[in-house]
């Protein structure tokens, strides 16, 4: 049995504690909670787990590319300022985990970011300001990262928009199949992420 966890931020740590005590492998796509404690708890328990704030395979590939760029070209954007805007369905209570991961990469690239992420949860603003189709107000993930040079003469925009939830469902199935193979092959009991899933080519 492999547990799939898509609950709420406040339950992340309690749920992980339960899975670790019982010794059940799990895939967690829920964001929020105390991530440091989460990883320490799971790592110490030696259970099989895939934990990722982003389960969409193509978005994960974008994140992986950002990490490669940050690793190979540190401070390439030194001095640039960053503005981040994200829009999700009104029921999403926490800030986008994907946005936080991308911001972390930009910081390694030398970007200064002290401002808060602009979270848009009002349906009217989502339609009028962000361009979310009305039929996807109940399930979407729009992200915009705007970079500008110190003198404002150069700018870059990175954007990824998701309507619906099928991309996450597909990625979750791939994560479960990946974890099942790890269990079957008696691989190391540890925390894996979606980049691990991508690297092994476990994609349907």
Catalytic residues: 88, 92
Q: Is 127 helix (H, G, I), strand (E, B) or coil?
A: helix
Are β-strands 140-148 and 81-88 bridged in parallel, bridged antiparallel, or unpaired?
A: antiparallel
Tokens 């992340």 belong to 12
Q: How far is CA 79 from CA 60, 82, 150, 158, in A?
A: 27, 10, 6, 18
Q: What is the CA radius of gyration of the chain?
A: 18
């Amino acid at each position: 049995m492999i547990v799939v966890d898509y609950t709420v931020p406040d339950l992340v740590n309690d749920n992980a504690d339960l899975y670790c005590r019982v010794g059940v492998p799990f895939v967690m796509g829920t964001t929020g909670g105390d991530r440091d404690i989460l990883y320490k708890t799971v790592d110490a328990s030696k259970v099989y787990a895939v934990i990722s704030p982003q389960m969409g395979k193509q978005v994960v590939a974008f994140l992986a590319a950002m990490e490669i760029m940050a690793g190979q070209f540190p401070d390439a954007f030194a001095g640039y300022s960053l503005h981040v805007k994200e829009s999700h369905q009104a029921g999403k209570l926490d800030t986008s985990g994907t946005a936080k991961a991308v911001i972390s990469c930009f910081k390694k690239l030398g970007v200064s970011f002290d401002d808060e992420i602009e979270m848009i949860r009002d349906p009217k603003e989502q339609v009028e300001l962000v361009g979310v189709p009305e039929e996807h107000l109940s399930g979407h993930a729009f992200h915009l990262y705007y970079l500008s040079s110190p003198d404002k003469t150069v700018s870059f925009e990175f954007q990824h928009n998701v309507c619906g939830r099928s991309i996450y469902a597909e990625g979750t199935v791939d994560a479960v199949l990946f974890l099942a193979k790890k269990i079957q092959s008696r691989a190391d009991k540890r925390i894996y992420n979606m980049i691990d899933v991508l690297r092994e080519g476990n994609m349907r």
